[in-house]
Chain A
Amino acid sequence: MAGWSTHSGRAIALPLHNVDTDQLIPARFMSASRSEGYGKFLLHDMRFDADGAEIADFPLNRHEGASVLVAGRNFGSGSSREAAVYALVDAGITAVIAPNFGDIFASNAVNNGLLPARLPEHEVTQLIDSLADQSAAVLIDLRAGELRIGDQGYAFELDDSWRTKLINGWDDIDLTLNHEDQIQTFKDQRFQTTRWAWPAAQDQEPPSKRAQ
């Protein structure tokens, strides 16, 4: 994954609270292969009616090319499905700004280069009101933790370790493998002192059970 430190694009408001991951990508699309692109599934049941036609006044349908969403409280709550992030990323979204995020969603986002930027709720409300149903130019500076929408600047909150990951585009597995020796030592010690933490071997079962 490539890292990034600044982004300029277009922001739109998604004035909804509790946009859970079931809405971001309904379950029935999750068996698709990533290679076919998940963008078309993003918020599918809000963007399209039962016949598959676009719902004209839904924000994402009004503004093609938006790269930043400003949304209400508790964005990405619910299921751990990383496919919700794939749908956003594949639809060209680089950042979501909200008062708070589902925990698992936020770490999934960072693992895919998507910024989950927290702003105080009153600032999000103000932003949503000022954007209304228009789009506006947005500039995000990850290092400074600042973003600018129209002529307003905001300081967003982001965990420091996540900021570093986004900027460097780090793959955690590579990072972790640098600590391979410490992990092996820990594992060996745990196996010595806490042997019960390993699943009982099935051949240790009492004969009565084995016979079944």
Chain B
Amino acid sequence: MTHPRTLLDKLWSAHEILRREDGTSILWVDRHLVHEGSHHAFGKLAARGAKVTAPELTFAVVDHYAPTRNRDQIADPQISRMIGTLRKNAAQHGLRLFDLMDPAQGIVHVIGPEQGLTLPGLLINCGDSHTSTHGAFGAMAFGIGATEVAHVLATQTIWQKKPQSMRITVDGSLGPGVSAKDIALNWIARLGTGGAQGCAIEYAGNAVRDLSMEGRMTLCNLSIEGGARLGMVAPDEVTFAYLKGRPYAPKGDDWEAALADWANLRSDDGAAFDREVTLHGDAIAPTVTWGTSPEQALPVTENIPDPATLDPGKADAARAALDYMGLPIGRPLDGIQVDQVFVGSCTNGRIEDLRAAAAVMAGRKAKVPGMVSPGSAQVKAQAEQEGLDRIFTEAGLEWVAAGCSMCVGMNGDLVAPGKRCASSTNRNFRGRQGPGARTHLMSPAMVAAAAVTGTITDVRPLLHGRSV
């Protein structure tokens, strides 16, 4: 009998071309996704006079700088230039570009799965840390820097050292109003932003199996915030049902061959992981961040912690965070006033996220302004078909086009200095949503609750009598 292997072992060996004596391997890259931010990498390629070696495996998308309004006449010359540069590079190298007006445009980590570019068993790279999202399909997917992007463009391979393996098992089931976002913030708060440093996480357990593909993507997306190299969920019927018939997914005999291969993409019984962590799904409450790091998160029912009671190594960071966030020690999280809300991003801009926010918001008015930016043009179209856009606009929120938008603020959508934003995004870093912006991360349902009450609020009572 062969030695039991983890999902990571299987994916790694399927992509390893060779391993050097120092333990570094060259891996074959099945999909390479690029965006406007890849301009440095294309520049490096041009400086060598090299070309994209596998344009059929390289896909380009306008997302980070995508304006969410008035797309046909971009006012900001810098944004226009960034998008123009990507268009030029895509045209020069013969890449399929999901341009601003493309009906399939959207955030790279939303459209990859949506288009069937993301498949189980693939190695996927992109010059964006949230590439870990694609691991939700049982792919090995991780973000890389510009030099590495240039390397993948030129060679369709990447040098990597095999990461340690870590399994996070979430058993039991999640309560109503609790989502994949809450699982992620929960484990990151518990283990810290370095808690999974350098690891490949496999998420397992009933609460993970019960998640939709959207939920699994949210969970894998946030793996990087806990220091992980990548996150994964073994593919199953939920995965296959999501992918069947997607534009770039295998068809006919290829689909059957793929299903046969994908059936083996799971950790064998008895496979050993370098690290194991177990969480109890039933014990997870809606969670929000109070500081400037994703690990500074607590259940919404708790109070702002006293830094003096924290691990000494974390006390200084907590003091600095509370100073930046303008929050007093001991104040209940529930009831903190917010100035605005944002629903969107590669973490929580999918159709299920919009449905969850709309379920809370339906028939209610927002007390603060806010913006809803769907993760892709297709999500936007579907939401409009379902009438979700009207729920948001009737509540008083802005319904805009797809892109990274206010998550990273590169397209001009910003939180003003000192303002507090309830946000479905992935980073509450200082200045992430704009200089001086104060970001509280939470699930889309929690953002909707913050919108209708004007404060950070436990969403659960707001769901009574509603179907979610």
A18-B317 in contact (CB<8A): yes
- Given A23-B430, A198-B57, CB of A81 within 8 Å of CB of B227: no
B82-A172 in contact (CB<8A): no
B254 cross-chain contacts in A, Cβ below 8 A: 195-196, 200
A82-B193 in contact (CB<8A): no
User: Which chain A residues numbered 98 to 132 have a C-beta less than 8 Å away from chain B?
Assistant: 100, 102-105, 107-108, 111-112, 121
Residue-wise, chain A 172-188 has the 8 Å CB interface mask toward B (1 for contact) of 11011101001100110
User: Which chain B residues numbered 223 to 277 have a C-beta less than 8 Å away from chain A?
Assistant: 224-225, 227, 229, 247-252, 254-255, 257-258, 261
B410-A28 in contact (CB<8A): yes
Distance in Å from the Cβ of A165 to the closest Cβ of chain B?
A: 9
Distance in Å from the Cβ of B218 to the closest Cβ of chain A?
A: 18
- Given A78-B429, A161-B161, A177-B155, CB of A195 within 8 Å of CB of B320: no
Residue A194 lies at the interface, judged by CB distance under 8 Å to chain B: yes
Residue-wise, chain B 164-195 has the 8 Å CB interface mask toward A (1 for contact) of 00000000000000000000000000000110
- Given A26-B435, A172-B159, A187-B156, CB of A196 within 8 Å of CB of B17: no
A172-B17 in contact (CB<8A): no
A22-B430 in contact (CB<8A): yes
B227-A73 in contact (CB<8A): no
B127-A80 in contact (CB<8A): yes
- Given A80-B127, A100-B197, CB of A183 within 8 Å of CB of B145: no
- Complex Cα spacing A73 to B313, Å: 9
Residue-wise, chain B 115-145 has the 8 Å CB interface mask toward A (1 for contact) of 0110101100001110000000000000111
- Complex Cα spacing A175 to B127, Å: 21
A108-B146 in contact (CB<8A): yes
Q: Which partner residue on chain A sits nearest B249 by CB separation? A: A200
Residue A151 lies at the interface, judged by CB distance under 8 Å to chain B: no
Residue B210 lies at the interface, judged by CB distance under 8 Å to chain A: no
A79 cross-chain contacts in B, Cβ below 8 A: 128-129, 408, 427
Distance in Å from the Cβ of A43 to the closest Cβ of chain B?
A: 10
Residue A17 lies at the interface, judged by CB distance under 8 Å to chain B: yes
Distance in Å from the Cβ of A82 to the closest Cβ of chain B?
A: 4
B293-A176 in contact (CB<8A): no
B43-A161 in contact (CB<8A): no
B159-A209 in contact (CB<8A): no
A23-B410 in contact (CB<8A): no
B435-A179 in contact (CB<8A): no
B48 cross-chain contacts in A, Cβ below 8 A: 173
- Given A22-B429, A173-B154, A176-B157, CB of A197 within 8 Å of CB of B17: no
User: Which chain A residues numbered 1 to 30 have a C-beta less than 8 Å away from chain B?
Assistant: 15-18, 20, 22-23, 26-28, 30
Q: Interface centre among A20, A80, A83, by most B CB within 10 Å?
A: A80
Residue A40 lies at the interface, judged by CB distance under 8 Å to chain B: no
- Complex Cα spacing A190 to B15, Å: 9
A176 cross-chain contacts in B, Cβ below 8 A: 26, 151, 154-155, 157, 159
- Complex Cα spacing A18 to B20, Å: 33
Interface residues on B, range: 35 or more
Residue-wise, chain B 23-65 has the 8 Å CB interface mask toward A (1 for contact) of 1101010110000010110010000101000001100000001
Distance in Å from the Cβ of B28 to the closest Cβ of chain A?
A: 6
- Complex Cα spacing A186 to B15, Å: 9
- Given A18-B293, A195-B254, CB of A159 within 8 Å of CB of B145: no
Distance in Å from the Cβ of B54 to the closest Cβ of chain A?
A: 8
Residue-wise, chain A 155-175 has the 8 Å CB interface mask toward B (1 for contact) of 000011100100000001101
- Complex Cα spacing A173 to B155, Å: 7
Residue A152 lies at the interface, judged by CB distance under 8 Å to chain B: no
Distance in Å from the Cβ of A133 to the closest Cβ of chain B?
A: 15
A200-B116 in contact (CB<8A): yes
B122 cross-chain contacts in A, Cβ below 8 A: 197
B251-A204 in contact (CB<8A): yes
Residue-wise, chain B 1-34 has the 8 Å CB interface mask toward A (1 for contact) of 0000000000000000110101110101011000
A209 cross-chain contacts in B, Cβ below 8 A: 247
A45-B431 in contact (CB<8A): yes
Residue A57 lies at the interface, judged by CB distance under 8 Å to chain B: no
Residue B394 lies at the interface, judged by CB distance under 8 Å to chain A: no
- Complex Cα spacing A107 to B229, Å: 12
Residue B307 lies at the interface, judged by CB distance under 8 Å to chain A: no
- Complex Cα spacing A98 to B82, Å: 34
- Complex Cα spacing A17 to B17, Å: 38
Residue A143 lies at the interface, judged by CB distance under 8 Å to chain B: no
Give the residue of A45, A80, A173, A190 whose beta carbon is less than 8 angstroms from that of B50. A173
A22-B431 in contact (CB<8A): yes
Residue B337 lies at the interface, judged by CB distance under 8 Å to chain A: no
- Complex Cα spacing A182 to B48, Å: 22
Q: Interface centre among B39, B40, B156, by most A CB within 10 Å?
A: B40
- Complex Cα spacing A64 to B373, Å: 43
B129 cross-chain contacts in A, Cβ below 8 A: 78-80, 104
A183-B17 in contact (CB<8A): yes
- Complex Cα spacing A175 to B25, Å: 12
- Complex Cα spacing A196 to B427, Å: 35
B145-A74 in contact (CB<8A): no
Residue-wise, chain B 323-338 has the 8 Å CB interface mask toward A (1 for contact) of 0000000000000000
A82 cross-chain contacts in B, Cβ below 8 A: 40, 127, 145-147
Q: A81-B37, A111-B147, A197-B119 are in contact. List 12 more A-B contacts (CB 8 A).
A: A31-B65, A74-B193, A74-B194, A100-B194, A173-B155, A179-B18, A182-B26, A194-B261, A196-B255, A197-B30, A204-B252, A205-B247
10 residue pairs bridging A and B, Cβ less than 8 Å apart: A18-B193, A20-B293, A23-B431, A111-B147, A172-B151, A176-B155, A179-B17, A196-B255, A196-B261, A197-B30
B binding-site residues for A, Cβ under 8 Å: 17-18, 20, 22-24, 26, 28, 30-31, 37, 39-40, 43, 48, 50, 56-57, 65, 78-79, 81-82, 116-117, 119, 121-122, 127-129, 143-148, 150-151, 154-157, 159, 161, 193-194, 197-198, 224-225, 227, 229, 247-252, 254-255, 257-258, 261, 292-293, 313-314, 316-317, 320, 408-410, 417, 427, 429-432, 435-436
4 smallest CB-CB distances across A and B, nearest first, come from A108-B145, A196-B258, A111-B147, A196-B250
